[in-house]
Structure 1
Amino acid sequence: MTSQQGTQLLPMEPVKRVWEDAANAPTDPPTKRQSQDPAALHLAVSPSLYDAPFPFYRRPAEVGCFSLDGQRCYHGDARQLRYYNPPPTEGPSPCFDLRDGYRDRYVRCDGSIREGLDHLLKWVEGNRDRLRTEGEERPISADFVTWRGHLTKVLTTPYEKQEGWLLGVSRFRGTFYISEFETPAAQRRKETQPEILKELTYMGYKFEQYMCAGKNPAVLL
């Protein structure tokens, strides 16, 4: 598995800087800090540096699951699991209405509430035995606790030319917890997002709803 708080990774060009303690991160200009702080870590962002054979990754294995209901309440089980259940390829079109419910039933999430790693950490707290290696003194044996998308942003940094990111990192008893913070640019984009884009986002989730079933279709046959 892979979590929050503390160190900030600040997107800059041509490097990404890592501070061990966000509270003590210097406020002077980056160009000045580069010459004053030899201990700062760097992540080079030139794509040519990563032009090499693909590294070996072990096949991921599921260690647990949790669900969030319509009110974003946590449940430590798979009650919200859905199964892919497309319409028949033969016969009439299913005529999916992807706008259904957008105007009269859609409950928008409160964008001011930052969930961070709360739900993930709640699962970790209740399932430490699944994440602990026998003989280890650490609370859990994971090196990182974070959302998959956060690692994706870091790994694609050399190829991302438009959007920056801001991550908070804490190390607790040998495990790094990584959580994302909204950049000012991302916040502005969200606040000024056209209504049509919001509707298109809804339509994507609506399509997913049409294509999934609450029960395993193989069992229903």
Structure 2
Amino acid sequence: MPQTDLNPEFSVNNTRAFPSLTQPKIVGSFSVDADRRYIPTGDNLKYLALPKPGPTGRIHLDLNEGFEVRQPKPASAKDEQIDHLLRFIVDNLNRGLRERDPEADRTLGTDFVCFRGLLRMVMCTPYERRTGWIILATRYRGTVYLCAKDTPEKIREEASQTEQQKRFCYYGFKFEQHVLSDEPDQKPDTTAPVIESEEFCAMFSATLEGNRVLYGAEMDGVFGTDPLDKRHLMDAALLNRLEFVEVKVKRRESN
């Protein structure tokens, strides 16, 4: 048996400075309705509305409720690729997205356009030894547009999902329905069917190692009690003052 080396030496020099990254700033937002149509407003922005504990001090939520009548996101949603991002760009070229340098060979003041999920996927690559990915890229007028494409393995995995796996995915949407409401200080309506297609998306701008990135990210909701004018939620200064929340549900681990 070969001897185990308890003091391995790495051939890669990791002493380089971490790539510079500016704080992301929100430059706009949009919504997607139940039919996956782009809406240039904040119609689907939600407010955090935590349920009150019962007499025992605990909260009981039935995440199975409504599973049979849910409205799942259609498979055709994958065909959208980055269409909604492109629509946002077209609608907002004159609102600060256009490159101010008239001699620059670009229409946008950014080097890359993509979704946040694609950035996460790339950044997690060194730690994902068994998961591959495919990224489509198009360069147009100096800007590279990136879009993730499902691998054959992921397509097979989704096609073979069990009923239980579908329920686990549903739990996340149902939990959001329990803790997010359409208006501040309003109790969520948990009797309505869950519509998985609806989204609120914020558009962020950041600079990574000198490369300007414009990316979209689905946002669950905001923390606050002041009502917002969702029909005119395009003021970048206002959007950057909001406290966004991300809600998650996790299965209890059992030994």
Q: Is the TM value for this pair above 0.5?
A: yes
1:106 aligns with 2:70: yes
Structure 2, unmatched stretches of 5+, are: 1-9, 186-224, 228-255
For 1:154 and 1:174, how far apart are their aligned partners in 2? 21
* Percent of residue pairs bearing the same amino acid type: 32
1:57 aligns with 2:21: yes
Q: How far off is 1:49 after superposition? A: 5.9
Alignment of 1:44-123 (within 5 A): 53-89=17-53, 91=55, 93-103=58-68, 105-113=69-77, 114-123=79-88
1:164 aligns with 2:132: yes
Structure 1, unmatched stretches of 5+, are: 1-45
Q: Greater strand percent: which structure? A: 2
8 A contact 1:47–1:158 mirrored in 2: no
Q: How far off is 1:203 after superposition? A: 0.9
Q: For 1:13-65, what per-residue CA distance to the aligned partner results, in whole angstroms no more than 9, with x for missing partners?
A: xxxxxxxxxxxxxxxxxxxxxxxxxxxxxxxxx99565755433111110000
For 2:110 and 2:149, how far apart are their aligned partners in 1? 22
Paired position in structure 1 for 2:91: 126
For 1:96 and 1:66, how far apart are their aligned partners in 2? 30
Q: How far off is 1:71 after superposition? A: 1.8
For 1:186 and 1:51, how far apart are their aligned partners in 2? 36
Q: For 1:58-98, what per-residue CA distance to the aligned partner results, in whole angstroms no more than 9, with x for missing partners?
A: 11110000001122111011110011221235745443221
8 A contact 2:112–2:144 mirrored in 1: yes
Describe the shift of the 1:131–1:87 C-alpha distance in structure 2 as closer, same or farther (beyond 3 A).
Answer: same
Equivalent of residue 209 in structure 1, options 136, 152, 177: 177
Q: Which secondary structure state, in structure 2, belongs to the residue aligned with residue 95 of structure 1?
A: coil
Paired position in structure 1 for 2:247: none
For 2:110 and 2:83, how far apart are their aligned partners in 1? 17
For 2:13 and 2:164, how far apart are their aligned partners in 1? 39
Q: How far off is 1:163 after superposition? A: 1.0
Q: How far off is 1:106 after superposition? A: 1.0
Q: How far off is 1:202 after superposition? A: 0.5
* 1:208 partner letter: E
Paired position in structure 1 for 2:120: 152
Equivalent of residue 185 in structure 1, options 153, 156, 176: 153
Describe the shift of the 1:142–1:76 C-alpha distance in structure 2 as closer, same or farther (beyond 3 A).
Answer: same
1:135 aligns with 2:101: yes
* 1:126 partner letter: D
Describe the shift of the 1:58–1:74 C-alpha distance in structure 2 as closer, same or farther (beyond 3 A).
Answer: same
* 1:219 partner letter: D
TM-score between both structures, scaled by the size of structure 2: 0.62
For 1:165 and 1:47, how far apart are their aligned partners in 2? 26
